[in-house]
Each structure stands twice: as C-alpha cells, then as structure tokens.
Structure 1
Amino acid sequence: MEHVVTALFAIQALAGVVLLIGWWRHGRSVAPRVLTHVALGLAGLVTWVTFTITGAVVWGWIAFAAITVGNGVGDSLMIRRFRRQRGWSGGMWSDYGGAIAAVFKGRMPAIVGFHALFAGVVYFTTLGVCIGATMEA
C-alpha cells in the first residue's frame, strides 16, 4: 500500500506543477505562501519515499506531518482565491466553507478543484498506511 500512496503523491505533485506553470504563465511571481506549500509537499513526498525504502515508520509520520501543514497552507491559498473572486471577506470559517462550496459548484478552475479534493485522498490514505505500519511495528 505504501507504493499506492507514492503514486497518489506523484499525481498530486503533477497537478501542483500544472498550477505553478499556470501561475507563471499569467506573469505572477511566486508568493512565499505558495513556495511554502510546494516545499511542504515536496518534503512530504521525499520523506514518504524514505519511508517506503527504509520501512522506518517515523518517516511515514514525518511525511504525514508535512502534508498536514502543507494542506493547511493550501487551504489558505484556496480561501484567498475565493475572497478575490467574491471581492470581500466574510470571516475565515465562512470563507473556508465558501471556498469548498465553490470547488463543488465548479466555480474554481478544474485543476484547482482536483488539487484541492485529491489532497484529501492523499492525506487520508497516508494516515491509514501510517496507522497500519505503526500497528505492525
């Protein structure tokens, strides 16, 4: 199952690369928050691959921690995008719910929606494998 998670990480990373390329093509400089999101995702991938190679469960949990923080940063990016689209802020929780609703209603670009929703697939699959590996250790 570790290799399935590796493949899921790779798919998610590919979606992220597509988003970055789009960002650059629109002439935007990469914001520190975006770089933080990318760095945490890469750290998660590298530590996950280390886990699959070594079998040391701690690397799996470090990967999980990295994507936990990285997903939070990604969510903040999605909320900011939603606020820009709407033109005003209704508060963090209201805007978070609005951003999620915008994904499901197709009001975000398809690749943004995919990247946002697939993050949950990677996250919970990683968590499940980490729990399973810990139980076996």
Structure 2
Amino acid sequence: MGYAVILAWLIQAAVGATLLVSWARHARGRDAGLVLTHVTMMIGFLVPWTAFVATGVVAWAWAGFAILLVFIGFGDATMVRRARAVTGVSEPGARDYWRAVRVALKGRLGWRVTFHALFAPVVFFGSLAVCIIATVAA
C-alpha cells in the first residue's frame, strides 16, 4: 500500500512540476514563499515515506503524513490567491477556499491546477489510510 501512495505522489508531482515551471516563467516571484515552501516540503514528504516503505517502521509513515498535514495548505493558499486574482473577489476564511475550488472546477485556473487540486486528496487520504492500517497491523 505504501507503494500506491508513492505512485499517486509521482503523478501529483509530475503535474506539480509543470505548474512550477509555469509559475517560474510567469509569476515574477509572486507568492514565492508559499510556492517554494510547498514544493520543498512535498518533495520532503518522500524521504520519510520511502523510509517507511523500505523498513516498515510505522513512525516513518506518520512523519511523512505530518509533513503533508502541515504543508499541503501552502498549495491551497496559492490556489486561493490565484483564484482571487482571476475573479477579483476575496472572501474571509473558508469561503475563500471553497470559492477557489469552484473557480478551479469551472476551469478558470487551467486543467493542471484543477487536476492538482482534485488529486491532492488521493495522496493525503491515501497516506492517512496507510498510516492507520499500518498502525493497527503493528
């Protein structure tokens, strides 16, 4: 099951890499802190997750999941900011996030952003499921 998460992560990372290249070409450094932190830590997720797959030590899986839990939101924040720029609308709190999701689903942020946003839960909840199953099995 740990390998399935790596496969999902690789798919997500491939699309993310194309987004990163587009951002580097066109964003002129806008939201660099969010983008680079998100990218760095999502790559960083692979280190403990690979250690888990190689050793079976559940603590490694939970360490990887903790990285996702803390830093996946940086990508969400980037999507929200982009949706604000596209629509010119900013709403407080979670309403801003859900509006950004609707904007992405309508295709206004491009197919890659939409895919990346919709596929992120596969990695996130897949990792969580593996962590829980591995913990119970141990």
TM-score (norm. length: structure 1): 0.94
Deviation at 1:93, TM superposition (A): 1.8
Structure-2 separation of matches of 1:24 and 1:73: 17
Structure-2 separation of matches of 1:96 and 1:43: 25
The residue that corresponds to 2:39 in the other structure is 38
Q: Please tell me the root mean square deviation across aligned C-alpha atoms, in Å.
A: 1.3
Correspondence 1:91-130 to 2 at 5 A: 91-130=92-131
**Number of residue equivalences:** 137
Q: Is 1:21 aligned to 2:26, yes or no? A: no
The residue that corresponds to 2:10 in the other structure is 10
Structure-2 separation of matches of 1:104 and 1:26: 22
Correspondence 1:14-93 to 2 at 5 A: 14-26=14-26, 28-29=28-29, 31-93=32-94
Deviation at 1:10, TM superposition (A): 1.0
Structure-2 separation of matches of 1:135 and 1:93: 33
Structure-1 separation of matches of 2:27 and 2:79: 19
Q: Percent identity?
A: 45
Corresponding letter in the other structure for 1:105: K
Structure-2 separation of matches of 1:98 and 1:86: 10
* Aligned residues of 1:33 and 1:77 also touching (Cα < 8 A): yes
2:116 counterpart SS class: helix
Structure-1 separation of matches of 2:29 and 2:97: 24
Structure-1 separation of matches of 2:47 and 2:54: 11
Deviation at 1:126, TM superposition (A): 0.6
Structure 2: gaps (5+ residues): none
- The worse-fitting range, judged by mean Cα deviation, of 103-112 and 58-67 is 103-112
Deviations 1:45-89 (A, max 9, x none): 121111101111011001111111221111111111111111131
Q: Provide runs of 4+ in structure 1 moved above 3 Å.
A: none
Deviation at 1:27, TM superposition (A): 5.8
- The worse-fitting range, judged by mean Cα deviation, of 45-54 and 26-35 is 26-35
TM-score (norm. length: structure 2): 0.93
